[in-house]
Chains A and B, each alone.
Chain A
């Protein structure tokens, strides 16, 4: 029984049968995140208290860990919460049990991407993918082309609200439309083509 993401966001958690949980999910994530300490979580909530973004999250980091351990795979992976992690590592610093929560969030993001169940039309994974492809293409980031490809996929009209800022930066010489990529792209791409 798969729950609908939108339903979850608007109505909160539905009742889930024990049999529908993915019991191995916790182990899998702990392995991907190089973090078996995940199972030592005492649910103290220091991570959520320290997180500067938890107020905007549907589930706080503490809840995410509890849900991962219990096996709420689809709910966790299809949620916006993991994408709201800005990788500031405050939770990792505060965790009394030494759990690398930021790395767990990274592992969840990767798992959501691999399984293609990340929230669609949500800007954060769109930017992450645009960034990923931009580097793959040129080896370095050019902010102008990165933002163009991001807004092209997300919502081209939203770019208009940044046109004044873009123009100011351009006039100050801080934004260039020319790519300053690297020379040895062929070798660089070899590093990225193995399991594309």
Chain B
């Protein structure tokens, strides 16, 4: 099985700790991935808001490149990229007219696509293919009951994705438990983090993130885990603003699930990007 990897823009900039930790964890578990060559942005939610033809076209280019590289499956760690790729594949396979148009567009750039490649999120890969036992075996530094709130956010698990439950997803919980941690049950695990609204409507964004963090905290969580670079960024980087706006000290480590896996696997801090965090994530590794 050849896995090709679609990092997306965030994993190369503000979410680079996700890439670092993901690749380190994959290496530890003997999963080899090859980055899609010359990939482009998935368009996120903005391309769909402005022009559907373009949104489908640019995502289809990534699918075509992945096929050209001989990939059997695409690994897409960012929730928006993952959803965007799935959505394009769905559109194309359910509507012959869209398919024809997209193929015509791709031909102009010398590409072709069968749209048969499987799109997978790392959570799906780790739990359903690599397996919980392999993860347990790689643990050298068990987390001894660390209380973890697993935050899945929105696009990762709904509505096209099928690898986990839309109301009560469990894949991240299973991984955390395999690392020796304790997981908390909370209703906000799939609540939207407001996406880019932390920049456009800062007061609304802060309120939505405050509710999530506060609920996790009040249920005794010591760390919030995420699987999406935008969720991670919102929950981590605006804690100062949130604390000021709601006059409540919200200080909570928010990290990628792969970083916590790396800590349990005994991988060095730098290889997990822990030194690049703004929340007190580093304290957990000591």
Q: Give A residues with C-beta under 8 Å from B.
A: 32, 34, 52-53, 56, 84, 86-90, 92-93, 106, 109-110, 113, 123-129, 131-132, 135, 139-143, 147, 150, 164-165, 168-169, 172-176, 180, 182-184, 187-188, 190-192, 194-195
B12 x A174 contact (CB < 8 A): no
The answer to whether A52 touches B13 (Cβ under 8 A) is no
- Given A87-B155, A184-B38; A124-B197 close (CB under 8 Å): yes
Chain B residues with a Cβ under 8 A of chain A: 9-10, 12-17, 38-41, 43-54, 57-58, 61, 91, 95, 105-106, 108-111, 154-155, 158-159, 166, 190-192, 194-197, 199-201, 204, 208, 237-238, 240, 275-278
Cβ of B58: which chain A residues have Cβ within 8 Å of it?
Answer: 135, 188, 191-192
Q: Are B201 and A124 in contact (CB under 8 A)?
A: yes
Q: How far is the CA of A175 from the CA of B276 in the complex (A)?
A: 11
Shortest B234–chain A CB gap in Å is: 11
Mostly, the A contact residues are helix
- Which residues on A sit within 8 Å (CB–CB) of B9? 140-143
User: Is the pair B50, A109 in contact by a Cβ cutoff of 8 Å?
Assistant: yes
5 CB < 8 A contacts A-B: A87-B155, A90-B190, A110-B50, A123-B199, A147-B199
Q: How far is the CA of A32 from the CA of B58 in the complex (A)?
A: 19
- Taking a contact as CB atoms closer than 8 A, the residue among B41, B108, B159 that contacts A190 in the complex is B108
Name B44's contact: one of A92, A129, A131, A176 (CB within 8 Å): A131
In the complex, are the beta carbons of B46 and A128 less than 8 A apart? yes
Whether B61 pairs with A188 at a CB distance below 8 angstroms is yes
Q: Is the CB of B109 within 8 A of A191?
A: yes
Contact of B48 among A93, A106, A123, A142 (CB under 8 A): A106
Residue from A90, A123, A175, A190 within 8 A of B158 (CB atoms) = A90
A156 and B179 CA atoms in complex are apart in Å by: 46
Q: Which of A92, A127, A172 contacts B200 (CB 8 A)?
A: A127
Q: Is the CB of B192 within 8 A of A88?
A: yes
CB distance from A93 to the nearest CB of B (A): 5
A183 to B36, CA, bound (A): 13
Task: Decide: A90 near B39, CB < 8 A? Known: A52-B192, A131-B46.
Answer: no
Known A88-B154, A129-B50, A192-B54; contact A53-B204, beta-carbon cutoff 8 A: yes
Bound-complex Cα distance A191 to B247 (A) = 48
Question: How far, in angstroms, from A7 to B237 measured CA to CA in the complex?
Answer: 37
Which of A92, A135, A164 counts the most B-chain CB atoms under 10 A from its CB? A135
Cβ-closest chain A residue relative to B238: A165
- Asked whether A175 lies within 8 Å of B159 as measured between CB atoms, the reply is no
User: Hey, which chain B residues are within 8 Å of A125, CB to CB?
Assistant: 49
Residues of B close to A84: CB separation below 8 A:
197, 201, 204
Q: Let me know if B50 and A132 touch, CB within 8 A.
A: yes
> What are the nearest 5 A-B pairs in CB distance?
A88-B192, A88-B154, A123-B200, A187-B109, A141-B9
Q: How far does the alpha carbon of A38 sit from the alpha carbon of B22 in the complex, in Å?
A: 41
| Bound CA span A190–B275, Å | 41
Residue of A nearest to B192 (CB): A88
CB < 8 Å: which of B13, B38, B53, B277 contacts A142? B13
A170 to B105, alpha carbons, bound, how many Å?
Answer: 38
Contact (A86, B194) CB under 8 Å given A188-B40, A191-B58: yes
How many Å from the CB of B101 to the closest CB on chain A?
10
Q: Out of A150, A176, A187, name the residue touching B13 (CB < 8 Å).
A: A176
Q: Which residues of A contact B61 (CB under 8 A)?
A: 188, 191
For B194, the chain A residues whose CB sits under 8 A away are 52-53, 86
Whole-angstrom distance between the Cβ of B229 and the nearest chain A Cβ: 10
Query: Contact at B50–A56, with CB atoms within 8 Å?
Result: no
Given contacts A141-B9, A169-B14, contact A135 B51 (CB under 8 A): no
Residues of the A chain whose Cβ atoms lie less than 8 Å from the Cβ of B204: 53, 56, 84
Q: Which chain B residues lie closer than 8 Å to A183 at the CB level?
A: 38
Instruction: State the CA gap A93–B43 with chains docked (Å).
Output: 22
Whether A86 and B159, one on each chain, are in contact in the complex, defined by CB atoms closer than 8 angstroms, is no
